[in-house]
Chain A
Amino acid sequence: GAGVSQTPSNKVTEKGKYVELRCDPISGHTALYWYRQSLGQGPEFLIYFQGTGAADDSGLPNDRFFAVRPEGSVSTLKIQRTERGDSAVYLCASSLNAQETQYFGPGTRLLVL
């Protein structure tokens, strides 16, 4: 079946702009996760959803970052007033539930100029 998909694959924006990154999880997966990966580093947790609600958002770096999952499927990560330090690969993953193995999408590479 189809895996986790993320759009866009690459996003270039200017400092101060607003961006939205989309994640389509594997069908039937109730848990969805966002991670951020800087160059040469391991991914760092941002937020995870169980159904429509954010079960843990402790990894969001500040209030410029926000994520939603209104119907319990597709999720959007929103970044306001982007900064150059936000440049990274943003990975999305999904799992049957929070105890099961997480399957990752190909990521969105965000570059803030």
Chain B
Amino acid sequence: AQTVTQSQPEMSVQEAETVTLSCTYDTSENNYYLFWYKQPPSRQMILVIRQEAYKQQNATENRFSVNFQKAAKSFSLKISDSQLGDTAMYFCAFIGNAGGTSYGKLTFGQGTILTVHP
């Protein structure tokens, strides 16, 4: 079975600064996808960024980037120029590719509450 671990229950950062959220995972599968989702108090789960495991290049989306270390099974999220609207719970998630036991179902970490202070 796959597991996803987020070891930081809470993080805080000053507006305009940079923060990194950690995530590690465990799987025996070779082909998979990793995600970071954001969940503000409104409850809506919003996709932040997606990484395909077969790609060595780290994904980036504007102020959001990841550091994907496949051998170490590590997938951290870096938020640059933090904004007040980034305040939310952030979840790291894993899904296996076709043929694997985790195909079609996301496995989530426990989440990290990020607070951006003015």
Contact = CB atoms under 8 A, between A and B. Distances in A.
Given A55-B104, A98-B103, A101-B35, A42 B47 contact: no
B98 A104 contact: no
Nearest to A91: B45
Interface residues of A, number: 28
Nearest to A41: B110
Nearest to A9: B43
A74 to B, nearest CB: 19
Contacts of A56: 103-105
Given A43-B45, A89-B43, A104-B45, A99 B97 contact: yes
B106 A45 contact: yes
Given A98-B103, A106-B43, A42 B97 contact: no
Interface in A82-102: 89, 91, 93, 98-99, 101-102
B45 A42 contact: no
B106 A102 contact: yes
B62 interface: no
A44 B108 contact: yes
Interface string A18-61: 00000000000001010100001111110010100001101100
A95 B23 CA distance: 24
Interface of A: 31, 33, 35, 40-45, 48, 50, 55-56, 58-59, 89, 91, 93, 98-99, 101-107, 109
Contact of A107 (B4, B43, B46, B98): B43
Nearest to B6: A42
B82 interface: no
Given A33-B106, A109-B43, 5 more contacts: A43-B106, A43-B108, A56-B104, A98-B98, A102-B106
Contacts of B47: 101, 103
Given A41-B111, A42-B111, A107-B43, A99 B98 contact: yes
